[in-house]
């Protein structure tokens, strides 16, 4: 028997399993267009990439982006391709697609939190959707912004005078380098 207590990436595998089942049941009806299969297949592939690449948060960021955009796509697909016939298989297919749409915001938050956890100490500003899409408070990529140094206030600006040493012959020497 599989020990679920020691399984890695439980939440990510759960997101994969739930969406995999709901998408599979959603595309069983004749009403669903090929575009529905396409963007959902991209989402499933990005989740699989996230499971495989455990160190990077980039696959999870892509999964979040696809999942959020898929909310809009699902609404458009349901609005334009809603079936006119209500056979039991078509009703089941549409119901699973609507359930998948309802679950997408929840799984977007789960994926976003997993991406934040994977970012670790090298991404200290994680915590908002803006951070996932590349916005962070830094001067340049990979270089954190330093503290503000007020040059108008003489107290905050400390100048260390150069120490001049005199050797035994009376010659002046520059201060030693302490780097």
Residue 101's pLDDT is what? 96
Residue 123's pLDDT is what? 46
Residue 121's pLDDT is what? 42
Burial class (CB in 10 A: 0-12, 13-18, 19+), 153: exposed
92 occurs within a structural domain: yes
Domains in the chain, number: 1
138 occurs within a structural domain: no
Residue 86's pLDDT is what? 78
Q: At what angle do helices 34-52 and 58-81 cross, to 10 degrees?
A: 160
Residue length, the chain?
179
177 occurs within a structural domain: no
Residue 143's pLDDT is what? 47
Token digits of residue 40 = 């959902």
Residue 171's pLDDT is what? 74
Domain that holds residue 79: 4-119
Residue 124's pLDDT is what? 47
One pLDDT digit (tens) per residue for the chain, 179 residues: 566 666 788 889 999 999 999 999 999 988 889 999 999 999 999 999 999 988 888 999 999 999 999 999 999 999 999 888 778 889 999 999 999 999 999 999 999 999 888 874 444 454 555 555 555 544 444 545 555 556 666 565 555 555 566 666 777 766 666 65
Residue 21's pLDDT is what? 97
37 occurs within a structural domain: yes
Residue 160's pLDDT is what? 55
130 occurs within a structural domain: no
65 occurs within a structural domain: yes
54 occurs within a structural domain: yes
15 occurs within a structural domain: yes
Residue 145's alpha-carbon distances to 136, 140, 141, 148, 151, in angstroms, are 10, 8, 10, 9, 17
42-76 core/surface letters (b: 16 or more CB in 10 A; e: else)? ebbebbeebbeeeeebebbbbbbbbbbebeebbee
């Amino acid at each position: 028997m599989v020990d679920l207590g020691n399984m890695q990436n439980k939440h990510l595998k759960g997101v994969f399993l739930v969406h995999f089942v709901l998408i599979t049941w959603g595309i069983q009806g004749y009403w669903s267009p090929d575009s529905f299969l396409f963007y959902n297949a991209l989402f499933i592939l990005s989740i699989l990439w996230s499971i495989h690449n455990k160190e990077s948060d980039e696959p999870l960021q892509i999964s979040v982006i696809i999942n959020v955009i898929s909310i809009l796509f699902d609404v458009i697909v349901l609005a334009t391709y809603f079936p006119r016939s209500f056979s039991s298989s078509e009703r089941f297919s549409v119901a699973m697609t609507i359930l998948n749409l309802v679950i997408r915001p929840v799984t977007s938050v789960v994926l976003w939190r997993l991406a934040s956890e994977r970012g670790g100490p090298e991404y200290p500003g994680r915590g908002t959707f803006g951070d996932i899409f590349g916005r962070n408070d830094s001067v340049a990529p990979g270089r954190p912004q330093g503290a503000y140094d007020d040059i108008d206030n003489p107290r905050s600006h400390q100048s260390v005078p150069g120490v001049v040493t005199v050797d035994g012959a009376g010659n002046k020497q520059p201060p030693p380098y302490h780097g």
